[in-house]
């Protein structure tokens, strides 16, 4: 049974890393597209549909929580790096959902760029916290 739980934990850990990287790529692409639209002529602008790919960002805490649960006590909810990671996720998700995505729908590309940059800074801090804990 221990062998199987280690496999599940490992798979979830890799899934957490992949979800984090995919979310980062999506946010970087959002910034690049906003910058390109901002530099485009007004006649070349188009309405942007709701960005559902950015919702992949919300897999980060889900997969992280599953990693903690399947760790069999090796990782504790009370570990400072888990708390800091969750706090940074909440702030970055708030910036993304409250500022970047609505601005993207409105076509306010300057706000999208600024908000996404803050989201990326917070993601980088969370990744740093996760790396330092080892």
- 77-119 per-position pLDDT tens digit: 888 889 999 999 999 999 999 999 999 888 899 999 999 999 9
The answer, as to whether pTM is greater than 0.75, is yes
Tokens representing 73 are 């006590």
Residue 5's pLDDT is what?
Answer: 62
Question: Over the stretch 22-65, which tens digit does the pLDDT of each residue have?
Answer: 999 999 999 998 888 877 766 555 666 678 888 889 999 999 99
Q: Are 95 and 115 in contact (CB under 8 A)?
A: yes
Q: pLDDT band for position 1 (50/70/90)?
A: very low
Helix H, strand E, coil C: the string for 68-111 is: HHCCCCCCCCCCHHHHHHHHHHHHHHHHHHHHHHHHHHHCCHHH
């Amino acid at each position: 049974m221990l062998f199987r739980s280690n496999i599940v934990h490992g798979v979830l850990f890799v899934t957490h890393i992949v979800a984090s990287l995919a979310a980062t790529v999506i946010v970087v692409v959002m910034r690049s597209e906003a910058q390109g639209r901002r530099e485009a002529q007004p006649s070349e602008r188009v309405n942007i549909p709701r960005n559902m790919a950015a919702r992949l960002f919300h897999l980060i805490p889900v997969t992280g929580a599953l990693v903690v649960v399947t760790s069999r006590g090796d990782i504790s909810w009370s570990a400072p790096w888990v708390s800091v990671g969750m706090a940074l996720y909440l702030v970055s998700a708030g910036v993304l959902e409250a500022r970047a995505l609505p601005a993207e729908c409105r076509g306010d590309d300057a706000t999208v760029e600024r908000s996404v940059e803050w989201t990326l800074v917070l993601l980088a801090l969370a990744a740093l916290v996760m790396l330092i804990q080892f």
